[in-house]
Amino acid sequence: MKRFVSKWFGLFMAIMLVGSILAACGSNSTGGASKDGKVTLKVLDWNNTNTKETEKLIQDTVEKELPNVKLEFEYINWDTDFSSTMQTRIAGRQLPDIVMIKGGDHPKYTEHLMDLSNEEFMNEFPEDIRKALQINGKDYAVPYTSNFQGVFYNKRIFDENNIEIPKTWDELMAVAEKLESNGITPFTAHFKDYQIGNSFNQFATVEVFSKNPAWGDDLQEGKEAFAKSPEFKTVFEHFEDVYKYSNKDPFGVDFTGAAEKFAKEETAMWIIGTWSTAQVLKNNPDLEIGFFPTPATEEQNTKIIMQPDHTFSGSKITKHPEEVKKVLEIFATNKDMAKQYIDNVQTDSLIPDVVSNVDAPFVEDINNYKSIGAANANVGNVQIPWPYQEQAGSYIAEWLLGKKSLDEALKATDDYKSKVKFSTK
């Protein structure tokens, strides 16, 4: 009898275990309505500046306007994890209900995003902002913020050394030379992580895409090549100039280390974007930071570079499309939330009439240069995707470290064309 009971108990346990595995495989983990009728929407977010404050702000606003909706945030690092996370979630049909997508990344994901073209709230945005993010004339994202890229500088150092703001690349090099001769390190460089990849597009925007806005498309069609382009050769050479005048051991310094160096006034300039200022001011809240546009070889191409940054999209397979649209509507229309958001993230809003209250010299500088006209970084970002820019950065690094000649680095960048998926065709 004992054996009989133990045999059937074993069988029962095995069947229960198999059953529970199968049940787990079939369960829905993409969020849903709870017993109290509240709908939980998952949000994938890669913002890394003051996340606690921004999360509370969004949750409180949404809870006030939509009491039956709860947002659950998941944070990832855009540079290292966004692409892989999106890929695995899409493959597993577990894309979160709302996804923060970086302006320029949308063409990759359109098949999996909600079409927002006919939503009333999209009419809140001026035509040029919508167009900057549209794919084949359709809207897949609510534009939210934009960042600006250029050269941040230490105002005190510039004033004490009587330095004028440079308007061309040659003038920038003259400034660097003067600073160095006065015992000051001109540039902050963090080549250990993404700086070369990022500045690659920054320099290309003013040197290449300003002359041929379809250069990347021409590259895909075989009409252009890095090795044949004098403009891209100039882009590569800019890195040699920066390297020459940068802090010690740039290949051993990452973004955090660079922010610390700039904050401690060890360096005078930093070629980067507005996302860096929060980190710098955390290290030294009293630092007077100024800003000027990335100088181009020819003065007429020296422009402030704008990039649509944080945008919000809805998943095409969400189980709660109506709630998702209502939340996206809050993003598009709630100007109070938008204002507090940009103050927390220290960036610029794409919502009309929303202006930052951050009182800093660089904000004033950016607003002044904006009125002259800005170049759109996404022209290059969409045509030459980020992995391509990063890989070009690796070849530039190998050239700077003497492992390749300039021509070999340019040719290697051409050869990599077949190894990357282009977003546009």
Partner 1 sequence: MNLDRKNTPSISVNLPAKPAASVQKKKRMKAGTFQYLILLLPPLLFFVVGMVIPLIMGIYNSFTDWDGLSLEKNWIGLTNYMEIFKDEMFLNSFKFTAMFMVFNTLIQNVAAFLFAVMLDSNIKGKNFYRTIIFAPVLLSPILVGQIWTKMYGTILPSINDMLGLSINFNFFSSPDTVMTGLLIANNWQWIGYWMLIYLAGLQAVPKDIYEACTVDGGSWWQKFIHITIPMLGPSITICTIGIATGSLKVYELIVASTGGGPGDSSKSTIMYIYDSAFMSQQSSYASAMSVIFLLVLLVFAFIQLKVLRKREVEL
Residue numbers at the binding site for partner 1 (CB under 8 A): 7, 10-11, 14-15, 17-18, 21, 25, 80, 83-84, 86-87, 90-91, 108-109, 111-112, 191-193, 249, 251-253, 257, 386-388, 390-391, 394-395, 397-398, 401, 403, 415, 418-421
| Residue 415 to residue 109: CA distance in whole angstroms | 26
Closest CB 104 distance from partner 1, rounded Å: 15
- Nearest-approach distance from CB 18 to partner 1, in angstroms: 5
Nearer to partner 1, 17 or 355 (CB): 17
**Closer to partner 1 at the Cβ: 181 or 418?**
418
Residue type, 193: D
User: Would you mind telling me the total number of residues written for the chain in this entry?
Assistant: 425
- In the complex, the smallest distance separating the C-beta of residue 28 from partner 1, rounded to whole angstroms, is 18
Q: Which residues contact 298 (CB under 8 A, 6 or more apart)?
A: 168
- One-letter amino acid at 244 equals K
CB nearer to partner 1: give 11 or 372: 11
CA–CA distance, 82 with 44 (Å, rounded to integer): 9
Concatenate the DSSP letters of all residues of 119-170 into one string.
-GGGGGS-HHHHHHH-BTTB--SEE-EEEEEEEEEEHHHHHHTTPPPP-BHH
Minimum CB–partner distance for residue 88 and partner 1 (Å) = 8
Tokens matching residue 4: 């009989």
Cα 274 to Cα 343: distance, rounded to the nearest angstrom = 12
Query: What DSSP designation does 404 have?
Result: S
Minimum CB distance to partner 1 smaller for 292 or for 386: 386
* Shortest distance, position 112 Cβ to partner 1, whole Å: 7
- Cβ closest to partner 1, residue 272 vs residue 397: 397
Closest CB to partner 1 among residues 292, 399 = 399
DSSP structure class, residue 288: -
Q: Which stretch of DSSP H or E encloses residue 42? A: strand 39-45
Measure the CA–CA gap between 393 and 391, rounded to whole angstroms: 5
Q: 111: exposed, middle or buried (C-beta count within 10 Å: 0-12, 13-18, 19+)?
A: exposed
Q: How far is the CB of 21 from partner 1 (least distance, A)?
A: 6
Q: How far is the CB of 84 from partner 1 (least distance, A)?
A: 4
Helices 321-333 + 51-65 axis angle, to 10: 110
Pick between residue 113 and residue 296 the one whose CB is nearest to partner 1: 113
Of 139, 184, 138, nearest to 159 by C-alpha is 184
54: Cβ contacts below 8 Å, ≥ 6 apart: 47, 341, 344, 345
Residue recorded with tokens 């499309």: 321
For the bound state, the minimum distance from the C-beta of residue 180 to partner 1, rounded and expressed in Å, comes to 21
CB of 326 to partner 1, least distance (A): 27
| Smaller CB separation from partner 1, 59 or 94 | 94
- 184 vs 412 by CB, closer to partner 1: 412
3-state class (DSSP) for residue 113: strand
As separate numbers, helices (DSSP H) first and strands (DSSP E) second, the chain gives 18, 12
Based on CB atoms, which residue is closest to partner 1, 19 or 352? 19
Could you tell me the smallest distance in angstroms from the CB atom of residue 396 to partner 1? 8
Side chain identity at residue 403, one-letter code: K
